[in-house]
Amino acid sequence: MVHRNAVSVAASPATRPPRSRRPGATLGATLRATGTAALLALGALLTLAGTAPAAAEGGLAIEKLFGTVRGWQVGFSSSVGGCVAAATYRDETTVWIGFGDESSPYIAFTNPKWRSIQVKSGYDLRIETRRTIWNGRFYGFDRGTEKGIFTTDLKAEFLGEFADSAGIKVVLNRAVIAQLSLDGSRAALGAIITCQKSFLEAAAKGGTTPERSDRGREEAEDGGSKSGTGFFVSKDGHVLTNQHVVEGCRRVKIAAVGQKSAGADIVARDKINDLALLKTTAVPIVVPGFRAQPRLGEPVSVFGFPLSEILSSSGNFTIGSVTALAGLGDDTRMVQISAPVQPGNSGGPLIDKYGNVIGVIVSKLNALGVAAATRDIAQNVNFAIKAAIALNFLAANGVVPAEASTTREIPPEAAAELAKTFTVRITCD
């Protein structure tokens, strides 16, 4: 390991969350450090950048999802004011790397077990890669049920090594507090740069943030609540949805078409695969069967409750096909579909021509971000978590769908009526 005299992670030390004087000068060398085509957008990004913001203490979250890249969630943090990528590991540590409100790069680590971290206190952290030891002054913050540490003004060399390294070891007071794989970090960095570029270009034209993806947004309603979609997976009232649909919710309600709403408890979560299991007293009319192996090109349909304040409150049904058997960055947990989805569809069923569930709707590609990078508008590029992943999650939590998959083909109108009987609208605040 090359120690490089214990190189600093950040551009300069500070007694409070630091600000960058010239983020372009700090990050411009990242092109040389990483050598990836995905980072070529960085030069255009930095010409729009100004001075760096202070990190938003306690407000770190992905409110508007850009997509999932090699296991990293990539999106926009309104509270911090920039694009961010996050990956959660088995030890419950989450790595966050992104840009502040005027493009200062930062990195943060959070974990619900780090109860001793004090808000605003400074910590001398050591980050070890295979080649280099990096020292940095980090600051404690509170993120609801988690405590975390962050630093800003990252050096270009650190970002380059972060993209190239297979893993890192995080050391605090000579104790290893996390040892993490960085698989997919290069692709994640490229994605947040594309996201940040589209944000800054939109802001320069008088806009605000990049187009939200369905995942992580859902629908904000009056009173600060949000809504999404779910579907019954057991006769005992278990409902499957996305974890991001119910993230941060104090109260959750579900309502089937034509039925009164009922309260629901969150009984299990899988942040990595973005799944959540709810339990309600409502009795399902039908519980669908699952089919674990989607086929490229097969027709599919989506039922859910998107844009419920605008579109029909009785649900929305769209059709399309399976266009790829992996998601962004060849994420094999996902399937790509052409059936249109909108904010509010997340957590809903992806249905085959037999009426079986073959996936859980999770996100749509950010057309604005893609257009900024490619000068072409991506259409109907949407994603679902494969049924096999969902079945593993259900089995791990003691739920085995009672119904077997069927092989009798039904017309789309019959599939729509069937989906109405097991799909629910989820609201929470």
Q: Say which CATH number the domain at 364 has.
A: 2.40.10.120
Q: Looking at residues 402-424, what average pLDDT do you find?
A: 91
Phi-psi region of 401 (alpha: psi -120 to 50; beta: other; left: phi over 0): beta
Q: Are residues 328 and 359 in the same domain?
A: yes
Q: Which of 107-111, 325-329, 350-354 is the least confident region?
A: 325-329
Mean residue pLDDT of the chain comes to 78
Greater pLDDT, 331 or 317: 317
82 with 190, same domain: the answer is: yes
| Shared domain check, 315 and 192 | no
Question: In the prediction, which pLDDT does 308 show?
Answer: 58
Residue 180, domain CATH: 2.60.40.1880
In the prediction, which pLDDT does 404 show?
Answer: 79
* Mean predicted confidence (pLDDT) in 180-198: 81
Domain final position from 204, 231, 252:
204
Q: Classify the phi-psi angles of 101: left when phi > 0, otherwise alpha if psi is within -120 to 50, otherwise beta.
A: alpha
Is residue 137 domain-shared with residue 27, that is, in the same domain?
Answer: yes
Report the chain's terminal Cα–Cα distance, integer Å. Answer: 49
Give Cα 291 to chain centroid, integer Å.
25
300 has pLDDT over 60: yes
**Mean pLDDT of all residues in 346-367:** 86
Range of the domain at 99: 2-204
Residue 41 counted as domain residue: yes
Q: 28: which 2 tokens?
A: 């411009």
> Which residue reads 């599919």 in tokens?
300
Instruction: Classify residue 213: in a domain, yes or no.
Output: no
Q: What is the length of the chain?
A: 429
DSSP annotation of 205: T
pTM of the predicted model, to two decimals? 0.52
| pLDDT at residue 172, rounded to an integer | 92
Is the same domain home to 65 and 145?
yes
- The predicted pLDDT at position 204 comes to 63
- Predicted confidence (pLDDT) per residue in 59-101, tens digit: 788 888 777 788 898 888 877 878 899 999 999 999 999 887 5
| In a domain? residue 210 | no
What's the domain count of the chain? Answer: 2
